[in-house]
Amino acid sequence: MNDLSMASTATQKAFDVQAIRRDFPILSQQVNGKPLVYLDNGASAQKPRSVLDAMDRYYREMHSNVHRGAHTLGDRATAAFEGARETVRSFLNAGSTREIIWTKGTTEAINLVANGLAPKLKAGDEILVSHMEHHANIVPWQMIAERTGAKVVPIQVTPAGELDLESFDRLLSDRTRVLAITHVSNVLGTINPVNELVGKAKARGVITLLDGAQAVPHFQPDVQALDCDFYVFSSHKLFGPTGIGVLYGKAALLEDMPPYQGGGEMIERVSFERTTWNVLPYKFEAGTPAIAEAVGLGAAIDYLNGLDRPAMEAAENALMVRANQLVETVPGMSIIGTAKQKVPVMSFKIEGLHPSDVGTLLDQQGIAIRTGHHCAMPLMDFYGVPGTARASFAFYNTLDEVEQLFTALQKIQRLFA
């Protein structure tokens, strides 16, 4: 074992990953007669028992609609629901819970912002995105551009999978109205230099949105330090339930934006002559919200807050270090995305093998990865591939699981060689 491997092992022992794995019931099962090795965390992470218990407790002990109920269960539900909002506010270091909007997920959050900013856009305006964006941060802007006459302009990436900063500097202009960019690439794992990007954009008066869906599972953002106008993420990638996400927005901008949907909760007063809107954050939360899911997201953040975050990040980095070491043990294997700063995401291809075949054969050995274009077709076109196989790691994965992945890939390569 070399020095890097020994350092990786020491880090994982200090983090006590086995104790943490016991908090995640789903990880103890077998798939196709093999112990489950779950490496599809970038698509959806697994849930600790505390999240499952919190949602079960809500339904068993306090289920009611929130806010206007004149009874005890309504008070309990409202306290849990708004308590979760405060937990998210603290997690992001937002200035106020007024700036925390519940959405169905990252996609809806971006659509909400895009539609809210549409009245500010006109023909000739430009919306900067990057070539590495998820479709959720491309398509909503294209739809708004069609309505307003604005144009979506992609910032280029380098072959290593890093943002081309010269391209960004060249494209940022007096025509730029919005910068919408991912904090971390879901395909490449690249951590973008968002502080620098936001700073340059704001110096020109550009509105900024950061897609944090792939960032928040690995590190904790500070929206006030970032000084971005909007930050969005999904619960299910942050070890919480599906069906809920978060839009952080600066209060002044949210106040200026029109509501995204109409109905209950988002109103102040309704008459046939005129309807007026509720205060933030409720102005953007039409209808009965995902109450249990909000409680579950709050519990997920509480769970993360109970971990040694620096040790967690070091343990994840150890997984990536070991995976990179083992690439050379699989003939014909190459990595898509080799940025210097990245989270533990490995997109790869093996010469002569289709990614979907790799995924199917790994599943037969109990190993779950993701294959395809990963909702990033422009990036696949850039690399000239139809898709990749992607292993995405979380803090509950182990060095043994990394070894199992590469042992399985070696078997697959020999089978098809």
Q: How far apart are CA 379 and CA 11, in angstroms?
A: 34
Q: For residue 375, indicate whether it is catalytic.
A: yes
At CA 12, angle to CA 9 and CA 15, rounded to 5?
Answer: 150
At CA 300, angle to CA 295 and CA 304, rounded to 5?
Answer: 145
Question: What is the amino acid identity at position 112?
Answer: L
Phi, psi of 402 (to 5 degrees): -60, -45
User: What tokens does 167 get?
Assistant: 């391209």
Instruction: List % helix, strand, coil for the chain (3-state, nearest 5).
Output: 45, 20, 35
Task: Pick the closest to residue 343 from 315, 371, 368 (CA basis).
Answer: 315
Q: How far apart are CA 197 and CA 226, in angstroms?
A: 10
Q: How far apart are CA 172 and CA 81, in angstroms?
A: 40
Peptide bond before residue 193 is cis, with ω within 30 degrees of 0: no
Which DSSP symbol is given to 389? E
Distance, C-alpha 285 to centroid of its chain: 21
Catalytic residue among 27, 251, 311, 375: 375
User: What tokens does 86 get?
Assistant: 């405060």
Specify burial of residue 306 (Cβ count, 10 A radius: 0-12, 13-18, 19+): exposed
Q: How far apart are CA 304 and CA 90, in angstroms?
A: 13
Task: Pick the closest to residue 178 from 134, 118, 233, 226 (CA basis).
Answer: 118
Distance, C-alpha 403 to centroid of its chain: 26
Classify 174 as helix, strand or coil: coil
Q: How far apart are CA 58 and CA 2, in angstroms?
A: 49
Cβ-Cβ contacts under 8 Å for 90 (sequence gap 6 or more): none
Active site residues: 375
